[in-house]
Amino acid sequence: MLKIINDLKYFFEDSSRKISVREYGRLAEISAPTASKLLEEYAREKLLVREEFRNFIFYSANNKDLVFKDLERIYLRETGKRKGDKR
């Protein structure tokens, strides 16, 4: 699959979830600084929404963006999952 779809798959699986930089790094098995750069890039492209809470930075899916929705449809079709499935 495309790199962008693999990078955003955690947001496609649960689009209401807010993921911290460290948590994303653990999920994607990459270092926190690399995760931070990657997530910040997607936030600049308006695919993710960046939110600061105290000293933590969280990212969530930008469900209003048409490109994000199209990528989500591609991911769900290719994996055979349905939106909201926890499989």
Mean pLDDT of the chain: 91
Residue 26 has pLDDT above 90, yes or no: yes
3 state DSSP class of 86: coil
By the 8 A CB rule, do 62 and 49 touch?
A: yes
For the segment 45-60, what is each residue's pLDDT rounded down to a tens digit? 999 999 999 999 999 9
72 in Cβ contact with 84 (< 8 Å): no
| Nearest CA-CA partner of 41 in 26, 24, 53, 29 | 24
The kind and range of the H/E element at 66 are: helix 66-79
| The CATH number of the domain covering residues in 3-79 | 1.10.10.10
pTM as predicted: 0.85
Structural domain spans, the chain: 3-79
Q: DSSP secondary-structure letter at 47?
A: S
